[in-house]
Amino acid sequence: MLLAVALALPRFQNPYQLLTFTRFLLLAAMAQGWNFIGGYAGFAAFGNVAFFGIGAYATGLAMLSAWHVPFFPALAFGSLVAAVTAALVGALVLRLKGHYFAIATLGVAEALREIADSWDDLTNGSTGLDLPIREPGAFFYYTALALVVAGLVVTRLLAPSKMGLAWMAIREDQDAARTLGIHATPYKVAAFALSAVFAALAGGVTAYQNIHVTPTDFFKLQYTLEMIIACIIGGAGTVLGPVLGAAVYQVLSTYAWSRFIELHPTVLGLVIIFFVIFAPRGLMQAFGATWRMAKGERRFRWTDLVANVRVNRVT
Amino acid sequence: MNVAELSQIAVNALLLSGILALVALGFSLVWGIMNIVNLAHGAFIVLGAYLTFYLHEAAGIDPFLSIPICMVVMFALGFAVQRALINQVIRAPILATFLLTFGLEILLVNLVNYFCKGDTRSVTTAYTGAGITLGYVRIPYIRLAALLIALALVAALAWFLRSTRAGRAIRATGMDIDAARLTGVNVPAVYALTYGIGAALAGAAGSLLSVMVPFDPNLGGAYTERSFVISVLGGLGAIGNVVLGALLYAFVDVFVGARLPQLSEAVTFVVLVLALVY
């Protein structure tokens, strides 16, 4: 997949559009992070918003602390805290498989939310932190863009590397991988920590952009969901998938917001259901299949559309 | 903590465990037989609660009497959902059913939110506050009734699974799907039946909860998580285990809740991790 992506730099659109694009980029960054643990390594983590929140709080606290740490170092600090947390939690939780792992990570996120809510001395409880004010605008956009590009580069480099191949081996069959001499745990923990870093960086940027950090807003389950859906739509385990999926999701989401403001999560649910049933490998796979058809390697059959269902249903 | 407080807490835990057992049972049945972690379980609970609420408001039906109605409605809904949606991805990797039920939960809860508005509601009747006081301990009638009904439903389920043909078919499918199919069991029907039963039990629990606590559309999520924890604690196999798990969990939850109420989710999580890792 030697694709050189042409980046369209922002012609200055109005603030709302810029905000939407920034949201898209941050989602793409988070999705890319999730892609490491969920897409490549095959461990579906349902609690990555925990790292988003950790990043937000760590960045915020660093900036508000006695040293008045400037933004970018604070961001780095936030990602470090998240990575360490991920490593510690991961060591415990990554030995679980499938559902158990998913729910355990979900539990982590929920537990962290409650802790952030009650640990008044540190986090100012439910009132939240107030960060130094900064004009919203292009600054955040470019930071987010840099984040996404970094994500693309990292994914592109790691996917065919030893680490990436190890991840894929673990995803396909962890025990077989182990017998081949691949130590699963360090690779899994690395993937988890990497996903934490991206989520935390996104969290820090969002924190600064939002100025106000609260437990309810920053440990929202919905954010984890969005990351995962973006990967599912675009294609987990691919380089471009998360970004593509994030774009599609953002479009759908913005459209749904403007038309059905109250039923917005319903639309979300429907999208998930649709993709899970009909296209679980995402659009990248659909594109790949279409490309192969265009090249003449396979012919299109109507049953292709329901192929996933036929394989997976019970009769 | 003195004896009075302790005994009240113990009684509260006991009363709570009935509902938890009911909720966890439906969840664990679906998980054990179909290997589906049904994240939409909470949605059925919420639906049951709202149905009871509206039946009470609109037709004056006593909430306890509406339990059978809720169960039938939820069963039908669950059956349809399984047949139409979940059955399509049942053999896919685990993440698929997980996400699907997740999507379903969001969908259903949001629809409830939209049609019923998110205000907190509860069902109050003439006997809401009443209870008996034995010594230091107060036992509200409603909670007692809820416990008894929950236990009755648990017993009914146990009987159903052991003694009826359909029940045995369900158990057989859970043990070995191919062998079951070979002996003539209609697997998709059994799956739909199982899911429907799970939904019905959730609906019943929702009905009971509607009289016990104030509820809003987000009631379900916490119960789904708790069901998960209890199922893990108790083990997926036997009903008795799930009940014991519920009891244990209820005690931990209530004791901690008496001291640190804000951390209840954290506690749930800690219990879960401990149970899983060991």
Contact B103 A272 (CB under 8 A): yes
Cα–Cα distance measured from residue B143 to residue B19, given in angstroms and rounded to the nearest whole number: 9
pLDDT band at residue A177 under the 50/70/90 scheme: confident
pLDDT at A136: 63
Question: C-alpha distances in angstroms, A56 versus A53, A70, A89, A210?
Answer: 5, 14, 18, 10
CB A120 within 8 A of CB A214: no
Cα–Cα distance measured from residue A64 to residue B231, given in angstroms and rounded to the nearest whole number: 43
> Which residue out of A40, A43, A101, A272 would a mutagenesis test of the B interface target, given it has the greatest number of B Cβ atoms within 10 Å?
A272
Contact A266 B262 (CB under 8 A): no
Structural domain contains residue A293: no
State whether residue B164 is helix, strand or coil: coil
Question: C-alpha distances in angstroms, A203 versus A17, A214, A218, B71?
Answer: 20, 12, 8, 43
State whether residue A315 is helix, strand or coil: coil
Structural domain contains residue A278: no
Return the minimum-mean-pLDDT range out of A56-65, A102-111, A263-272, B95-104: A263-272
Task: Name residue A251's beta-bridge partners.
Answer: none
Q: How far is A90 from chain B (nearest CA, A)?
A: 12
A214/A124: higher pLDDT:
A214
Closest-CA residue in chain A for B108? A266
If you average pLDDT over each of A266-270, A309-313, B117-121, B145-149, which comes out highest?
Answer: B145-149
The total domain count for chain A is 1
B218 touches chain A (CB under 8 A): no
Contact B268 A107 (CB under 8 A): yes
Short-list B52, B47, B48, CA closest to B62 = B52
Residue A150 CB-half CA count within 13 A: 17
ipTM of the complex: 0.71
Short-list B18, B12, B76, CA closest to B44 = B76
B228 touches chain A (CB under 8 A): yes
pLDDT at A6: 38
Q: How far is A11 from chain B (nearest CA, A)?
A: 36
Closest-CA residue in chain A for B104? A269
Stretch A140-147: mean pLDDT = 78
Q: How far is A146 from chain B (nearest CA, A)?
A: 30
A34/A296: higher pLDDT:
A34
Helix%, strand%, coil% for chain B, nearest 5: 80, 5, 20
A220 touches chain B (CB under 8 A): no
Cα–Cα distance measured from residue A286 to residue A291, given in angstroms and rounded to the nearest whole number: 9
pLDDT at A1: 37
Chain B contact set for A313 (CB, 8 A): 87-91
A8/B252: higher pLDDT:
B252
> Which residue out of A112, A314, A315 would a mutagenesis test of the B interface target, given it has the greatest number of B Cβ atoms within 10 Å?
A314
Q: How far is A111 from chain B (nearest CA, A)?
A: 4
Render pLDDT for A239-252 as a digit per residue (tens, 0 to 9).
Answer: 888 888 888 888 88
pTM as predicted? 0.78
Stretch A297-301: mean pLDDT = 64
Contact A265 B106 (CB under 8 A): yes
Chain A contact set for B225 (CB, 8 A): 103, 106-107, 110
Cα–Cα distance measured from residue A13 to residue A25, given in angstroms and rounded to the nearest whole number: 15
pLDDT at residue A156 is higher than 70 = yes
Contact B37 A99 (CB under 8 A): yes
Contact B114 A98 (CB under 8 A): no
What is the overall mean pLDDT for chain A? 78
Task: Name residue A212's beta-bridge partners.
Answer: A130
Task: Name residue A166's beta-bridge partners.
Answer: none
State whether residue A17 is helix, strand or coil: helix
Structure tokens at B14: 């006991």
For chain A, how long is the longest CA-to-CA vector?
66
Out of B92, B102, B262, the one facing A312 most closely (by C-beta) is B92
pLDDT at A301: 64
Structural domain contains residue A311: no
Structural domain contains residue A104: yes
Residue A41's domain comprises 15-260
pLDDT at residue A8 is higher than 60 = no
pLDDT at B200: 92
Contact B272 A103 (CB under 8 A): yes
Cα–Cα distance measured from residue A204 to residue A80, given in angstroms and rounded to the nearest whole number: 12
Stretch A276-282: mean pLDDT = 74
> Which residue out of A40, A97, A277 would a mutagenesis test of the B interface target, given it has the greatest number of B Cβ atoms within 10 Å?
A277
pLDDT at residue A2 is higher than 50 = no
Q: Which residues of chain B carry a pLDDT beneath 50?
A: none
Short-list B132, B128, B155, B161, CA closest to B62 = B128
Cα–Cα distance measured from residue B231 to residue B245, given in angstroms and rounded to the nearest whole number: 7
Render pLDDT for A198-210 as a digit per residue (tens, 0 to 9).
Answer: 999 988 888 888 7
pLDDT at A3: 39
pLDDT at B185: 85
Stretch A264-286: mean pLDDT = 75
Structural domain contains residue A44: yes
pLDDT band at residue A4 under the 50/70/90 scheme: very low
A252 touches chain B (CB under 8 A): no
Structural domain contains residue A207: yes
Structural domain contains residue A268: no
Output the domain CATH number for residue A205: 1.10.3470
State whether residue A168 is helix, strand or coil: helix
Structural domain contains residue A57: yes
Q: How far is B168 from chain A (nearest CA, A)?
A: 19
Short-list A241, A221, A223, CA closest to A232 = A241
Quickly list H helices, chain A: 15-34, 49-64, 71-93, 98-118, 120-123, 138-158, 162-172, 174-179, 184-210, 215-218, 221-234, 241-259, 264-278, 282-294, 307-312
Out of B95, B98, B272, the one facing A107 most closely (by C-beta) is B272
If you average pLDDT over each of A127-131, A193-197, B106-110, which comes out highest?
Answer: A193-197
